[in-house]
Amino acid sequence: MRLHLVSDVHGAVEPLRQAGQDADALICLGDLLCFLDYFDHDAGVFGSLFGPDAVARLVELRTAGNFDEARAWSRSLWAGLPDARTAMDKAIDGQYAELFAAMPTPTYATYGNVDIPDRWAEHAHAGVQILDGEVTEIGGLRFGFVGGGLPTPMRTPYEISEDAYAAKVAALGPVDVLCAHIPPAVPGLTYDVVARRLERGSLALREAILEHQPELMFFGHVHQPLAGRCRIGRTECINVGHFARTRVPYVLDL
């Protein structure tokens, strides 16, 4: 059985469609939406609503770590837009409609921190199984899925408390393959060498790995990691890659 795994799709519809080909199943570890494209300032929700110059300013502030100023700039942009809420919802639903339509049957998907969980059920077709704090069987193995991210100064759309996250991890129990959007809290896995900061990793994931020692743990979230993989005991922990840039799925032969 051949599985293709992707994470951090961030609006890459056509590459996602291709990533589902020649696979028996696709696993998607979240961050489907593109709000802000750091490289293509015309793209994403912000690019389509506010234009490239406004996006360039926002990218500049966030890259410099001025999150308060970035939020103020973002607020001023939204305030200048008549019926901002509707415009944003329309842009989000438009992206989700295209992305879910590009997913093959079967697809197993969980949320990233840059996702709106409430909007998924409406767009997912019958071949897409949405899993968050849940286990399913794939190729005779138990796969556990945990979605979302932990609180950060970026205040991305789906960040939950450490306790709520730990409860979802605990709900899985022992699994053969652990899948999450964010990595376990290991500095080499969480440090982004381009952004030059530590992203949020999960202590609960690390503890679950130490306790249950699954064969494999897959995640994404850290776009340019110091280390793309590491071992924790007998568990191989693997970042499946920043799909929006690489456009190549991670291939797992079972």
Chain residues binding Mn ion by CB under 5 A are 31, 112-113, 221
Q: Which is nearer to Mn ion, 31 or 132 (CB)?
A: 31
Q: Which residues of 193-213 are buried (b: 16+ CB within 10 A; e: fewer)?
A: eeeeeebbbbebbbebbeebe
Provide the minimum distance between the beta carbon of 156 and Mn ion in the complex, in angstroms, as a whole number: 7
Decide: 133 and 146 in contact? Cβ < 8 Å. yes
Which residues are paired to 236 by β-bridges? 216, 231
> Residue with CB nearest Mn ion?
221
Q: Give the integer Cα–Cα distance in Å for 169 and 204.
A: 7
Alpha helix locations (H) across 127-229?
162-172, 187-190, 203-212
Provide the minimum distance between the beta carbon of 71 and Mn ion in the complex, in angstroms, as a whole number: 18
Provide the minimum distance between the beta carbon of 184 and Mn ion in the complex, in angstroms, as a whole number: 15
Provide the minimum distance between the beta carbon of 10 and Mn ion in the complex, in angstroms, as a whole number: 9
The type of residue at 217 is M
Per DSSP, which regions of the chain are E strands?
A: 2-6, 25-28, 107-109, 128-130, 134-138, 141-146, 177-180, 191-192, 197-198, 216-219, 229-232, 235-239, 250-253
Decide: 138 and 25 in contact? Cβ < 8 Å. yes
Q: Which is nearer to Mn ion, 34 or 49 (CB)?
A: 34
Provide the minimum distance between the beta carbon of 105 and Mn ion in the complex, in angstroms, as a whole number: 25
Q: Which is nearer to Mn ion, 33 or 91 (CB)?
A: 33
Provide the minimum distance between the beta carbon of 244 and Mn ion in the complex, in angstroms, as a whole number: 11
Q: Give the integer Cα–Cα distance in Å for 104 and 14.
A: 12
Q: Which is nearer to Mn ion, 112 or 133 (CB)?
A: 112
Q: Which is nearer to Mn ion, 176 or 199 (CB)?
A: 199
Q: Give the integer Cα–Cα distance in Å for 229 and 35.
A: 27
Q: Which is nearer to Mn ion, 32 or 124 (CB)?
A: 32
